[in-house]
Chains A and B, each alone.
Chain A
Amino acid sequence: MGTLLRQIIVNCNNLSRLSIQSNLLKNVNSALLPLAVNKRYSNAPTPYEVVDRKSEEKSNQEVINKVNQLVKDEKTLKLFAVVHVAGKQFKITDGDVIVIEGYWPPTVGDKILLEKVLLAGGSDFTFIGRPVVQKGLVRVEATVIEKTVSHTKTHFRKKRRKQYMRINFYRIPHTYLRINRICINGEVNNPPEVRGLETAIF
């Protein structure tokens, strides 16, 4: 677990949850291997454990530094993100096209930022939002490339033996979004002093 195999960083100021997670992993490895490795879930409560605060903080800082280094080193870092748009979640990377169903005001040619990022990551690290990754840390740029309507859908109702039959046809609006870029701005676990004003218009 010490290696940088797959590090989970919880993006928050206090890192208590991170320590709990690493403890869980330790317990699983030591106690249940190899018999119950395949166990998908457990109803057992999380065992209490005395955590050495200093060592925990130190290991957390190590992980954070490593991720910061990765972000800084590789300019061509391939990132993905899970974004929440108009009631649906999409897993996206650069160059993806997603379709948003239903009425959605942006029109073709609009360049927008998707700000509700639930999860973001590269090949070696993942930011998990609780529920949303710190605003401004991950920047997802997209362009609206098409607005159209779906195929004709049929809404058919019938009640047997009641001489009741209704038929209705409808098409729902579709908006095609091209994801232009996903990048990480700033440092992990080092949020700016004043937050929430990045996109505010005065």
Chain B
Amino acid sequence: MSNSHLFLKPGFIKVPLQNGVGRYVCQLQRVVLKFCKNHGSSRGMRDFIESDLVNFAMDNPAVVVYLKPRRHRSAVIKAEYLNGDQQWLGCKNFTKEEILKWLNLLVTQSQYHTGTRIRKLWHTDNPSIQGPWTPFTFRDPKLNLASFPNEELAKPQDSNETNHEALIELFKKQKLDDLEQRRAE
């Protein structure tokens, strides 16, 4: 069992500066498809290049696509992002659909994310508009003028009688009842 998930670096979400404020900018700069012309493990990659690559390149004019054939080594996708991140993705024995899926993921990503666990699903520069809550919000402004020591404020907030007091009350009442009964007799 791998323990790598236990030691992931926690972090907050990072977004390329102001992306999407005016317009959206694709963060993937170039992608290199490395493959072998003969080996079976590159077959999916070769199929992809033959059938889907042109469409992929047409759909993503912002991304530069390189092809790099090399003998007897497994297929690999290498992606480079605008922030300088490089992502290396082994594609041994992948089908062409799988390769398209991973390529689409790389296109929509903004950086090499693997290895950080995000702690919050929210980032803001203005955490509060109406002001954060303090113990003094929604309190009576009369408290500002109170002079201390103040008997009224020093009392416990729930002035209900305690169980102890209630028991004493009951006991007294019982006594009275007994007295009355005796008198009646």
Contact = CB atoms under 8 A, between A and B. Distances in A.
A151 B20 contact: no
Nearest to A158: B1
A123 B73 CA distance: 62
A146 B130 contact: no
A38 B153 CA distance: 12
B19 A178 contact: yes
Given A145-B110, A146-B15, A178-B19, A154 B5 contact: yes
A45 interface: no
A175 to B, nearest CB: 9
B121 A143 contact: no
Given A37-B140, A145-B24, A146-B110, A152 B5 contact: yes
Contact of A92 (B107, B124, B140): B124
A148 interface: yes
Contacts of A99: 13, 118, 121-122
Contacts, number: 125
Given A37-B139, A38-B157, A93 B24 contact: no
Contacts of A38: 157
Interface of B: 1-2, 4-5, 8, 13, 15, 19-21, 24, 26-27, 105, 107-110, 113-118, 121-126, 129-131, 139-140, 142-143, 152-153, 155, 157-159
Lowest 9 CB-CB distances: which A-B pairs, in order?
A178-B20, A145-B20, A147-B108, A143-B20, A99-B121, A109-B24, A97-B123, A80-B129, A96-B124
21 contacts: A29-B140, A34-B142, A37-B139, A78-B129, A80-B130, A90-B121, A96-B122, A96-B124, A98-B123, A99-B13, A145-B19, A146-B19, A148-B109, A151-B5, A151-B8, A151-B114, A151-B117, A153-B5, A174-B118, A178-B19, A180-B21
Given A178-B15, A178-B20, 10 more contacts: A6-B130, A35-B155, A78-B126, A80-B129, A95-B125, A143-B20, A151-B5, A151-B115, A176-B110, A178-B21
